[in-house]
Amino acid sequence: MRRLQLAVLAALTLGAGLTATPAQAHPGQRALGIENCAADTCHFDVPPGTYDVRVLLGGSAASSTAVSGETRRSLLPETAAPAGERVARSFTVNVRTPEGEPTGPDGTPGLDLVLGGSAPALADIRVTPARQARQILLVGDSTVCDQPGVPYSGWGQQLPQYLDKGVSVANYADSGESTVSYLGNPQLWGTVRPLIRPGDLVLIQLAHNDKTTDEATYRANLQTLVEGVRHQGGEPVLVTPIVRRWFNADGTLNNDIALLVNGLGVNHPVVIRSVAAELGVPLVDLTAKTKALVESLGVEGSKAVYLYNENKDNTHTSVHGATVYAGLVRDELVALHLMPARLVRE
């Protein structure tokens, strides 16, 4: 990976972000720039909050640069710049402690960014507190969370790269959590609920670990989460779980393991759909979307979406799979008119 190529910042007027309750900001803080970068990393000594990042990409040779940050979050997809030209891009990032899973280690204070891509080149960068930003908060399990180690990735970890400046993703999904444990842990729901502001989206995908939760309890827990979001003025969105890669002999996923039916016979996607309809909550039917995709890829093609080749794991997704699934979520948010098309990337 080549060293960063320094260049004079070109003037550029960026479009305004989505109008919403201002994110946490620090008005007296000056813009931080490329002096905080070395080699393929940048570190900005900022307190927890929401920050706009503007990058100027490119150099004397043709380049292709991606940006990730904090706990392996994909913040900007690989972006090409022709030789001698500069390409400006912006995104909004959530900085928090712990920086990854809520029950995990604190991580490194401040904002850490990493350059990737096939030929990375950063000409300049500016980090400023976000004045107007809408939050997407994520409540979920290991298939959603900011996974700390390769080769794992949750779809929530890949979602930020699909969003433009003005929207940040605060991923409070945590490995191993059920609706019961998430509600009962003060590091989880007790932390997330007070952070919800009017206009924020809260995506809720909890099912994989509700293996011994009866239907009445599961339904009640979903209702508690929905009501809690609404009490704070947020917009709850129920998300059915991603399928497990568990094929029948005929190449379909029509079985309890694949479709998240627990040992008590509780069909989690069916209950989620029912609660969404009863409470008038927007629904992202990720079970249906991922089922169709996995079946279309077939037994062999779908291995790359999960971690079958690495760990014989048919539940957790690879970076590639999580990226594909995050794209499905992006598409549904736009289709449901929960996110303006102008604030999402293809």
| Residue 29 clears pLDDT 90, i.e. is over it | no
* Contact status, residue 105 vs residue 174, Cβ threshold 8 Å: no
Give the pair of three-digit tokens for residue 212. Answer: 């011994």
- The CA distance from 284 to 338, in Å, is 11
Name the least confident of 44-48, 51-55, 130-134, 141-145: 130-134
The mean predicted confidence, pLDDT, of the chain is 92
CA-to-CA dists, residue 247 to 241, 250, 314, 339, angstroms: 17, 8, 10, 34
SS3 295: helix
The phi and psi torsions of 258 (rounded to 5 degrees) equal -65, -40
Confidence of residue 23 (pLDDT cuts 50, 70, 90): very low
Q: Which residues pair with 90 in a beta bridge?
A: 54
- Residues 60-109 have pLDDT tens digits of 999 999 999 999 999 999 999 999 999 999 999 999 999 999 999 999 99
Which tokens is 15 given? 């479009």
For residues 264-273, give the mean pLDDT: 98
Question: Residue 181 — φ and ψ, nearest 5°?
Answer: -70, -35
pTM above 0.85, yes or no: yes
